Amino acid sequence: MPSASMADYFLYDRLKEAKGDRVAIRTRTDAWTYGRVAQESDRVGNALRALGVRPEERVLISMPDVPEFAAGIFGALRIGGVVAMVNPLLPAEDLAYYVGYTRCSALLCDADVAAKLGPVMEHFPLLRGVIVLGAPPPGQLFHSWGDAVRGTSTCEPWPSGPDDPAYWLFTSGSTGKPKAVVHLQHDFPWLTERYAKQVLRMTQDDVTLSVARLFFGYGTGSNLFFPFAVGATTCLFPEKPTPEVLFEAIARFKPTILTSVPTSINAMVSHPDAAKHDLSSLRCVISAGEALPPELFHRWKQRFGVDILDGIGSAETFHIYITNAPGDVVPGSLGRLVPGFEAKLTDEQGTELPDGDIGTLWVKGDSVGVGYWQAHEKSKETFHGDWVRSADLFRRDADGRYWYCGRADDLLKVGGMFVSPLEVEDCLLQHPAVQECALVAYQEQGLDKPIAFVVAKAGAAQDEALAKDIARFVKGRLAAYKFPRRVRFVQDLPRNDRGKVERKKLREELAKAGLGQTFDTDLSRRP
């Protein structure tokens, strides 16, 4: 049986298994063994206790992907604290929101985050101290990591049980401010036993690398918790995961598993020097966060020869619950249920639908959180015991594979017919001049019309002729009503800090700026 405490299950049990000398974390300049991670985690736990942090109080972490991030997580869990994480690159206003929302007793951060928050510290009366990796700003609450995290490397653990609170994971905030899902000690080990060990079949010989940063639950799971649970090695780098950085990291670390997102996959395979890079160390790539177009899967597989395991997860379930698996990949499909999960598809009245019909996805599993913090009504809409009612539309085929059809609020209704943006976007990506794209609707005489926001490839003329050629391309491959009636060329697409395209912002931009700088591609119109 897995240990009741997350800290034990993911870290301290490796010492009991005599794996303390195995390398847990590699960076470009250092290597931390499991023993060293445990010692530094104990020191962090002692430092938090010295600040007055008590069991079940929140500890907020906001720093880049460095080994101290892991020590911060396990040090907080070691003393019974509840961990929450936030992107260190956020502006001061957003960082302040998270500190206030979590009511954290302690903050572990880098010097840049500390500098942003320094002027507003008086707004956080519950905050007992900030431990800063780097030079701290002036103020009684700020302590340098070197001064605070030192001394004895033995920390008396708090006897956490499986039903104790342990972790907050934030939603992407597609509506309003991000909300935190409250998770218990047993949630993450439960899913790790099923996804990491049964689906990915991770072993101590694996080496992991991630595009998703550690503050994001997708990255925390794939590039910290999962490898730690089996005594494997994770590789960390603090820089932005550009294609150049990733190619260099793969060459240096020789990972066996890469955790990625479709945006990064597209950037890597489209890089002008892609053919020069050897990715043969990889046995698979994990993709989640947004739908992976089949066209992109095929380009990647042809270029690098490595399977992409597309899947879907959520903050509500901690990590991936439907996925393709090694040796069982169908491009365009999100695969099958992870062992231990159940799912159903329902119509708007809640009636369960048969295979082949499109419906709202409900998912059930023992890693489901207990609700959203300070969002009672929203919790009642989403959480129903072990069931989570998502906002995602799926269909299931006769083989038990799930096919993503988009979010309910992203579907377009054109001429009385529903249009999935994902289908049109996959077709658009097959056009030789399209690098990235997103499809939303604009209103014309009260009716939805598709408009494509297109990032063109280098050298492509971003003019009316290309816009109309793109429209003809789609119209020749899909049902005639699905082609974009307008095209707007853009330098990039708005994305949240999880890498998802923010269609809401595209719709807001249209509502604000109108159809200026767009090309009319409705070929049925008369001049």
Residues 369, 421, single domain; the answer is no
Asked whether residue 527 is domain-assigned, the answer is no
* CA distance linking residue 230 with residue 307, whole number of Å: 22
For residues 363 and 222, the answer to whether their CB atoms sit within 8 Å is no
- Which run of H or of E encompasses 470? helix 464-475
Alpha carbon distance 310, 336 (integer Å): 10
Q: Is 1 helix (H, G, I), strand (E, B) or coil?
A: coil
Instruction: Assess whether pLDDT exceeds 80 at residue 453.
Output: yes
The model's pLDDT over 56-78, given as tens digits with 9 standing for 90+, comes to 999 999 999 999 999 999 999 99
Read off the CATH number of the domain in which 211 is found. 3.40.50.12780
Residue 152 — pLDDT band, cuts 50, 70, 90? confident
> For position 526, what pLDDT does the model report?
43
Task: Give the pLDDT confidence of 370-380 residue by residue, as tens digits.
Answer: 999 999 999 99
Q: How many domains does the chain contain in total? A: 3
Residue 378 neighbours by CB under 8 Å, 6+ apart: 179, 372
- pLDDT per residue as tens digits for the range 179-217: 999 999 999 999 999 999 999 999 999 999 999 999 999
**Cβ neighbour number for residue 416 with a 10 Å cutoff:** 8
- Let me know if residue 204 belongs to a domain: yes
CATH of the domain at 101: 3.40.50.980
* 1-56 pLDDT per residue, tens: 577 899 999 999 999 999 999 999 999 999 999 999 999 999 999 999 999 999 99
Same-domain pairing of 272 and 314: yes
**DSSP 3-state of 368:** coil
Q: Is there a domain that residue 23 lies in?
A: no
Spatial CB neighbours of 11, under 8 Å, sequence gap ≥ 6? 34, 37, 38, 41, 74, 228
Residue pair 257/229 in contact (Cβ under 8 Å)? The answer is no
**Same-domain check for residues 175 and 206:** no
Within a domain: residue 392? yes
Give the C-alpha distances (Å, rounded to integers) separating 355 from 171, 322, 345, 398, 404: 29, 16, 9, 6, 13
- Residue 210 sits in the same domain as residue 333: yes
Question: Pick from 184, 209, 224: which residue ends a domain?
Answer: 184
Which DSSP category does 442 fall into?
A: E
> Looking at the structure, do residues 170 and 309 belong to the same domain, yes or no?
no
Residue 498: how many CB atoms within 10 A of its CB? 22
CB atoms within 10 A of CB 182: 18
Which residue in 66, 47, 401, 429 sits closest to 215, CA to CA? 66
Q: Tally DSSP H helices, then E strands, for the chain.
A: 17, 28
Joined together, the tokens standing for residue 173 give: 């905030």
- Of 127, 156, 184, the one marking the end of a domain is 184
Q: DSSP label at 491? A: S
Q: Is 424 part of a structural domain of the chain?
A: yes
Mean of all residue pLDDT scores within the chain: 92
> CA angle 104-109-112, nearest 5°?
125
Distance CA 22, CA 13 (A): 13
Q: What is the pLDDT of residue 527?
A: 44
- Whether 320 and 312 have beta carbons less than 8 Å apart is answered as yes
Is residue 478 within 8 Å of 427, Cβ to Cβ? yes
DSSP summary character for residue 158 = P
Distance CA 406, CA 367 (A): 24
Give the model confidence (pLDDT) of 499-509 as tens digits: 788 888 898 88
What is the domain range of residue 99? 6-18+32-184
Residues 203, 177 share a domain: no
pLDDT the model gives residue 495: 86
The answer on pLDDT for 159 being more than 80 is yes
Instruction: Say which amino acid occupies 285.
Output: V
Among 184, 206, 231, which residue terminates a domain? 184
- Kindly report, residue by residue over 396-413, the tens digit of the pLDDT: 999 999 999 887 777 777
Residue 415 — pLDDT band, cuts 50, 70, 90? low
Residues 266 and 167 occupy one common structural domain? no
Q: Tell me: pLDDT of 142 over 80.
A: yes
Q: How many CB atoms lie within 10 A of CB 316?
A: 22
Same domain, 72 and 191: no
In a domain, 207, yes or no: yes
User: Which residue has 């082949």 as its token pair?
Assistant: 356
* pLDDT, tens digit, 9 for 90 and up, residues 247-300: 999 999 999 999 999 889 999 999 999 999 999 999 999 999 888 889 999 999
> Going edge to edge, which strands form the sheet with 336-337?
31-33, 23-26, 233-235, 207-210, 257-260, 284-287, 308-313, 320-323, 336-337
Residues 419 and 355 in one domain: no
Look at residue 243 and tell me if it is in a domain: yes
**pLDDT for res 151:** 77
What is the CA 259 to chain-centroid distance, rounded?
10
CATH number of the structural domain spanning residue 516: 3.30.300.30
199 lies in the same domain as 75: no
How many CB atoms sit inside 10 A of residue 55's CB?
13
Please check whether residue 242 is in contact with residue 266, taking contact to mean a CB–CB distance below 8 angstroms: no
Give 158's Cβ-side CA count (13 Å radius): 26
User: Where do we find the tokens 């082609």?
Assistant: 483
Q: Examine residue 1 and state whether it is found in any structural domain, yes or no.
A: no
Whole-model pTM: value is 0.85
Same domain, yes or no: 364 and 295: yes
Q: Between 405 and 366, where is the model more confident?
A: 366
Q: Are residues 177 and 192 in the same domain?
A: no
Q: Is the dihedral of CA 427, 432, 437, 439 positive or negative?
A: negative
Nearest 10 degrees: CA dihedral of 493, 494, 498, 499? 0
Residue 520, strand partner residues? 486
Question: What length is written for the chain?
Answer: 527
